[in-house]
A = this chain, B = another copy of it.
Amino acid sequence: MVLSMSSWREYDRGETLFLQGETAQAIHIVTEGWVKLYRIAPNGGEAVVNVFAKGESFGEAVAFRGHAYPVSAEAVTTCEVMRIPSVALLEAMRKDPEIAVSVLASTFAHLHSLVSQLEQLKAQTGPQRVAEFLLELCEHEEGSCVVTLPYDKFLIAGRLGMKPESLSRSFAKLKNAGVHIKRNHAAIDDIERLREFSETDPVEAWHKAQ
């Protein structure tokens, strides 16, 4: 039932899914590619709020009330997105409250991710945020590994609240924590060591980075 009312679309890189201020009438699920949520401040600055990958959904909380989107969405790669009209999901929710609970759970995940970002911005230095970003990409908890940077450095910088130049310098500092960047791959010598770097006091971290 829900599926029957859903539509499905492809977007090219750079294409806009919706703009902040538009009235929300559907929730979106990324089925392929990457979508970024960003916000333009009145002074013109862009803040990347989140980047969603395959399987993730966004816009739940907004759509239900027909509020205006607080953010804009843009495809950062060619991608496929499923669109579920909010009326369809609302109806489903009325029939099965379990659905309501799982929508809430998903919304909570977003809330949690925003809280994490706030913590990082307020309490960590640039290189520490980069370290944490890399750690989240790792699949293991220890040892060494090589991760692929999921999108270009310009976007990563935005996501971490810094300029591309600063990201570049952060990568340079992380060499002392055993991280080597080559193209869009990052080789991490020792995951534990990198985690320690991201968790130590900023002033200590500074000495280590020298």
Contact = CB atoms under 8 A, between A and B. Distances in A.
Contacts of A200: 43
Given A42-B198, A110-B111, A93 B103 contact: no
A90 to B, nearest CB: 7
B121 A121 contact: yes
Contacts of A117: 118
Interface stretch (A60-68, A76-84, A139-147, A176-184): A60-68
B123 A41 contact: yes
A70 B103 contact: no
Interface of chain A: mostly helix, strand, loop or mixed: helix
A2 interface: no
Contact of A61 (B39, B45, B108, B202): B108
Complex A-B, nearest 8 residue pairs according to Cβ-Cβ distance, in ascending order: A45-B123, A61-B108, A42-B199, A100-B100, A47-B122, A41-B123, A114-B114, A47-B119
Interface of A: 39, 41-49, 60-62, 64-65, 67, 70-71, 90, 93-94, 97, 100-101, 103-105, 107-108, 110-112, 114-124, 128, 161, 198-202, 205
Given A43-B124, A64-B101, A93-B97, 20 more contacts: A39-B118, A41-B120, A42-B198, A43-B128, A43-B198, A44-B201, A45-B119, A45-B122, A45-B124, A46-B123, A47-B118, A47-B122, A61-B105, A64-B104, A64-B105, A70-B111, A100-B104, A107-B108, A110-B111, A121-B161
